[in-house]
Homo-oligomer: A and B are copies of this chain.
Amino acid sequence: MVGGMTSNRPAYRAVADKIRAAIEAGEYAPGAQMPGDMTLASQFETSRATIGLAVRLLLAEGYLIKKGRNYAVSPLLKKILRDANVRYRKPNREAGPDGSPSRGAFASEVRALGMRAGSDVTVDRVVPPANVAELLGVSADEPSVLSRARRMTADDVPVQLATSYVSGEIAFDSALENVDTGPGGMISRLAEMGHVQTEVTEEINVRTPTVEEIEELQLTEDARVYELLHVARTADGRAVEVAVHVMPTHQWTLRYGWTLDGN
């Protein structure tokens, strides 16, 4: 048949459906190499271009990843649960002695899946993004904030980029410039310096990843990421810490919980 289509389900979607089902059924082990394009093309009796489209869908959905010159089944098919309640409200036992969130929180989120958590930190004085500058009330034209950029992995698969920003007035030449912020993390250090966080807001958007994120999180341009804007304020309403978390949507579930006391 030259061109044309008879079924209502496009061929490339049908192929994607079959491969997806095979992955979910465990016929391809997580992390395993996939057959080449031409092998698949003959298997599904279609052209290589059609296979390419099907694969593109599966890459975007996170079922497949690129591995060297071929593709492979994603080693992380389960989702990591990020529970804001556990992170920021209940004492988190797995963390430091005083119930530190941030670092210990991610580790236990990943450990809950039986995986190994990893993380890199880069501390630097930077020019803040416009929205961060406005929230913190600092200049967006000069290196006015301290940034702590973390890249987190689960079993060596990158799963999150998180960057915290604190005004230079507070953070420069303080313990926050150390790579290791010690027990309790930034929140405790800020509290010791008189900036006790009392109000937290998180705003969630979903967008396509930037070129940097594609590289650092090993994504495709068709993938989607959560952009989570975390803002912590002191009792007087001033934002003391702003963090931007970027996470592939197919790797994460977000959870929030609260109590209705009276209302």
B13 & A221 in contact (Cβ 8 Å cutoff): yes
A88 & B258 in contact (Cβ 8 Å cutoff): yes
B201 & A79 in contact (Cβ 8 Å cutoff): no
* Residue A224, interface by CB 8 Å: yes
Within the complex, the shortest CB–CB distance from A240 to chain B, in Å, comes to 12
Chain A: how many interface residues by the 8 Å CB criterion?
37
* Residue A263, interface by CB 8 Å: yes
What B residues does A43 contact at CB under 8 A? none
Q: Which of A179-231 contact B (CB under 8 A)?
A: 197-206, 208, 221-222, 224, 226
> Nearest chain-B residue to A254 (Cβ)?
B204
Within the complex, the shortest CB–CB distance from A258 to chain B, in Å, comes to 6
A254 & B203 in contact (Cβ 8 Å cutoff): yes
Pick from B200, B224, B263: contact of A258, CB below 8 A.
B200
A260 & B200 in contact (Cβ 8 Å cutoff): yes
B256 & A198 in contact (Cβ 8 Å cutoff): no
> Nearest chain-B residue to A257 (Cβ)?
B201
What B residues does A257 contact at CB under 8 A? 199-202
Pick from B250, B255, B260: contact of A197, CB below 8 A.
B260
B260 & A61 in contact (Cβ 8 Å cutoff): no
CA distance A254 to B99 in the complex (A): 27
B263 & A204 in contact (Cβ 8 Å cutoff): no
Within the complex, the shortest CB–CB distance from A164 to chain B, in Å, comes to 16
Within the complex, the shortest CB–CB distance from A253 to chain B, in Å, comes to 5
B206 & A259 in contact (Cβ 8 Å cutoff): no
Pick from B89, B221, B261, B263: contact of A91, CB below 8 A.
B263
CA distance A257 to B61 in the complex (A): 29
> Nearest chain-B residue to A205 (Cβ)?
B253
